[in-house]
Each structure stands twice: as C-alpha cells, then as structure tokens.
Amino acid sequence: MINSLPLRAGILSVVLFGLFLLAWHLAVSGTGPTVEMDPAYAALMGQAAVQGKSAMPGPMDVAATLWGHLSDPFYVRGTNDMGLGIQLGHSILRVALGYFLAVAVAIPVGFLIGMSPLMSRALDPFIQVMKPISPLAWMPLALYTIKDSGLSAIFVIFICSLWPMLINTAFGVASVRKEWLNVARTLEVGAFRRAFLVILPAAAPTILTGMRISIGIAWLVIVAAEMLVGGTGIGYFVWNEWNNLSITNVITAIVAIGVVGMILDQILARIARLVSFPE
C-alpha cells in the first residue's frame, strides 16, 4: 500500500505542512529587545513592546481564531462585526452575480465572434485593448456612473470575468472540427440545431476552460474590490481587521479565501469533466 502514489503524496503533504507550522511557530516564538516605559504607555503598546513577544500570531493563535469563526460563522453584531461565513457569503453572492452576467454576455457574443470571421476581426482590437485593463481601474468609472458601491463591485467582477470566457468561447466555436460541420452539412442540419447540437457541445470543453479561468480571476478581484468599496465581504473583512491590527483574523481570512477559491475552481473543473468526451 505504501507504494500507492496518492498515499505517498498525501503523507508528504502532511509532513511538509507540519514542517511549515513548526517553522512558523519557531519564527514567532522568539523574544525581541524590551524597553523600560511608563506602564500606561506600555498598555497602549501591547505585549510586543513590553515582553518582546512577536506581534505575529503563531499557528496556535490562528487555529484558535479559526475555530472560533468556524463554530459561529453567521453572527451579526453590527456593521463591523459579522461572522466570517456572512462575509464570505456576501463575496460569493457578488462574484456569482457578476460572473453569471458575464456568462450571459460572453457566451452568445463569443459564439457570434467564433462563427463570423468578420465579427472576429472587427471586434479583435477592442478585446485586445480591454483585456489587459486591470478590473480595478474601472472602479472609479463604475462608482461615478452606477453611483452604488455594491453594484460597482459586481460590475468589476463582470468586466474581469468577461474576457477569458469571451476569448475561449470564440476560439472553441471557431475551431470546431471541420468534419463535424461537414456531417451537419451533409445532413442538412438547420442553423439552430447545428449551433446547439453540434457546435455548442464541440466547443463546450474550451468554453468551460474559459469559465474556469474567469471564476479564478473573479475570486481574486473580489477581495481587492471589496477593500475599496467597503461595507461587507471578505475583502472588507481583511481590511477592517488590518485596521484593527488583528493579524490573526487577517491570516484566518486568507486561509478562508484560499479554501473558497479552491472549491469554486473544483466545481468548474467537475462541470468541465462532464462536458468533455474523448474521441
């Protein structure tokens, strides 16, 4: 059994994680120089100044905080004190809205571009210019025109999810195997049936690849967007806890962001597997 690759990889992962935790623990457990000071001032400065203890939390502190969040993820005790689950929920909702809006636009438009060499050439310069723009650069414009910070965040997610899906859909549709199209032609298949029963299934794996790239980007961008717009969401939570100087909570949030991002990616990977068929 020890020869099975997944098992060995799993053991190695656990060992590496253990080493990482150990290194982390050692790195933050040392004491720095202390200075004599007024007790009132010392109270303000905290343990880092008085006992020389590192302000960086150790793995045990983070584990305790994480456990605290996990055991009560959905509390609301005011605008700046909500459970991690509530914050993540806000972020996921924003990402979902912006992302599905982008799907609704990118797939039909990508289809059109893929089907028509004329449209492909005509729209190419626009796509090439729009694609490299950081989605956050749209934020002021969105805030000014939409006049609503929540909707602006959704717009930013929309605009950043759009391009990978658009480009992949167009590419997938344009590169459907010629012989499948010839089958459709010799069977006198109508445009509608051809689009939905031949081109769409043939391009689906490529489209799903684009959707998977997009969900990754959307989840990256939502954190930054929420830091800007504030109010709710995991990005706001991170910034708020930074302002509280609660590094423990920041690290906890980072872990949560990573795990949610991985889950979103895996969902799309599963769907991609459902629509991919070997020949």
Q: Which is nearer to other proteins, 81 or 279 (CB)?
A: 279
Q: CA triplet 126, 217, 198: central angle to 5 degrees?
A: 70
Q: Which is nearer to other proteins, 90 or 194 (CB)?
A: 194
Q: Which is nearer to other proteins, 183 or 269 (CB)?
A: 183
Q: Which is nearer to other proteins, 169 or 249 (CB)?
A: 169
Whole-number Å distance between alpha carbons of 188 and 2: 57
Task: Provide the token pair at 199.
Answer: 């081109």
For residues 236 to 275, the per-residue mask of contacts with other proteins, x marking binding by CB under 8 A and - elsewhere, is ---------------------------------------x
117-130 and 149-174 helices, crossing angle to 10°: 140
180 binds other proteins (CB under 8 A): yes
Contact with other proteins (CB under 8 A): which of 29, 182, 244, 266?
182
Whole-number Å distance between alpha carbons of 234 and 205: 31
Q: CA triplet 21, 22, 27: central angle to 5 degrees?
A: 100
Would you list the DSSP string of 127-187?
A: HHHHTTS-GGGGHHHHHHHH--HHHHHHHHHHHHHHHHHHHHHHHHHHTS-HHHHHHHHHT
Q: Which is nearer to other proteins, 126 or 192 (CB)?
A: 192
192 binds other proteins (CB under 8 A): no
Task: Provide the token pair at 62.
Answer: 């983070």
Short-list 246, 262, 226, CA closest to 69 = 246
Give how far the C-alpha of residue 181 lies from the chain's centroid of Cα atoms, to the nearest Å. Answer: 36
Q: Which is nearer to other proteins, 3 or 186 (CB)?
A: 186
Query: What are the backbone angles phi and psi of residue 175, rounded to the nearest 5°?
Result: -110, 30
195 binds other proteins (CB under 8 A): no
Contact with other proteins (CB under 8 A): which of 187, 191, 259, 269?
187
Write down the least CB distance from residue 5 to other proteins, Å: 25
207 binds other proteins (CB under 8 A): no
Write down the least CB distance from residue 109 to other proteins, Å: 23
- Span near other proteins by CB under 8 A; candidates 52-60, 92-100, 156-164, 198-206: 198-206
185 binds other proteins (CB under 8 A): yes
For residues 17 to 36, the per-residue mask of contacts with other proteins, x marking binding by CB under 8 A and - elsewhere, is --------------------
With a CB cutoff of 8 Å and minimum separation 6, the contacts of 97 are: 154, 157
Which residues form the interface with other proteins (CB under 8 A)?
177, 179-180, 182-183, 185-189, 193, 197-198, 201-202, 204, 275, 277-279
